[in-house]
Amino acid sequence: MISAENVHKQLTVGEVAARSGVAVTALHFYEAKGLIKSQRNAGNQRRYPREVLRRVALIKVAQRLGIPLAEIGEALKQLPDNRAPTAADWKVLSEKWSRELDERISQLMLLRDRLNGCIGCGCLSMEACPLRNQGDVLGEKGPGAHFLEAGADPK
Amino acid sequence: MISAENVHKQLTVGEVAARSGVAVTALHFYEAKGLIKSQRNAGNQRRYPREVLRRVALIKVAQRLGIPLAEIGEALKQLPDNRAPTAADWKVLSEKWSRELDERISQLMLLRDRLNGCIGCGCLSMEACPLRNQGDVLGEKGPGAHFLEAGADPK
DNA sequence: CCTTGACCTCTGGTTAACTCGAGGTTTTAC
DNA sequence: GTAAAACCTCGAGTTAACCAGAGGTCAAGG
């Protein structure tokens, strides 16, 4: 099915979907959100350059890290033009996200330790229980990242 | 404001809201979801026994752990009758949730390690990149817990 | 008695990340 | 040439955890 000539062909949505593992509708959705771009052929159908595959791959990985699409979009937008991400770009982003992941992990560990400290106490008092009041564990809602963690297999 | 007689009085929604720190509308919502119950007075207004405060406290803590309301509701339902949770009940639940938290933390750590291992490689290949394919890190969608992690301060 | 504030129900809106379907066009393959 | 498969747009539905507001009732104080 794949000839030598096809290697440089642009991809249709269906092909991108098949190769990247995301649904066609999701690709439409990403495009609407500005995460990816496409050109149109004479019949108004989307045609993608091969680099879109790497872009989609990056999106999927970032999602597994719990980064919301909006933030992924921001990150992608900051790549100088709209080229596909290179290894260097990836390094910058992955280091940033790795730090965020560290942060999230340490918050969860702190929470777990408090929970373990409280097991059996049963107080849950508004004033005294360390599991309550102090908003310092999660939800500092300042400028920064608050993200969702969800299953990787949406269905 | 608080007399000795008030101590045994039933609470209004407004009072529960003030003492527990959740909004009145949220209490309505919890009731609709079956997480709490109320009696009504002659004028159809909600009246709560004092124990509801502990129940709400437990709900809030569980939410900080990232447990969705539906699952919290299940847990509360499994308390023999609809009494307020005791220290023993709390122990059972907090141990369960602590294990889930551990699980979540270790998944994130695994993911972080992979991410760090991959920084700079930039491959993101469908077949080879450990950050991709294997669905073993997040999102085993079997029966069990998949939950959201969100800021503790909804507003 | 009358005003004010708390309460009631119900509808609709919010965000995220999509999916599904309707109704119609284009491409591809035979 | 025609039929099937793939594509198009647009609108609505999904889940979670609520909040806002409309329109009306109830309770407490002076």
**B80 contacts B92 by C-beta, under 8 angstroms:** no
pLDDT at A78: 83
Give nucleotides in strand D with any atom < 7 A to a protein C-beta.
6-9, 16-21, 25-27
Q: Residue A23, CB, less than 7 Å from strand C?
A: yes
pLDDT at A90: 85
Single-letter amino acid code for the residue at B99: R
Residue A143 has pLDDT above 60, yes or no: no
**Given CA atoms A124, A129, A133, A134 in this order, what sign does their dihedral have?**
negative
Q: CA B126 to CA A29: how far, in whole Å? A: 21
Q: CA B41 to CA B36: how far, in whole Å? A: 17
**Mean pLDDT in residue range B90-108:** 90
**Mean pLDDT in residue range B65-92:** 84
**B68 contacts B59 by C-beta, under 8 angstroms:** no
pLDDT at A134: 56
Dump pLDDT digits (tens) for A40-73: 999 999 999 999 999 999 999 999 898 999 999 9
Crossing angle between the packed helical segments A52-64 and A24-32, to the nearest 10 degrees: 90
CA-closest candidate to residue B149, choices B68, B75, B93: B68
Beta strands in B3-151 (DSSP E): 39-40, 46-47
Q: Residue A100's CB: how many other CB atoms inside 10 A?
A: 17
pLDDT at B20: 93
A143 touches chain B (CB under 8 A): no
CA geometry: angle A102, A108, A109, nearest 5 deg = 90
Q: Can you give the pTM of this predicted structure?
A: 0.77
Q: Whose CA is nearest the C1' atom of nucleotide C25?
A: A43
**Mean pLDDT in residue range A105-119:** 85
CB contact under 8 A, A152 and B146: no
Dump pLDDT digits (tens) for B123-151: 666 666 766 655 444 433 322 333 333 33
Which H/E stretch holds residue A47? strand A46-47
pLDDT at B85: 75
**B58 contacts A125 by C-beta, under 8 angstroms:** no
Give nucleotides in strand C with any atom < 7 A to a protein C-beta.
6-9, 16-21, 25-27
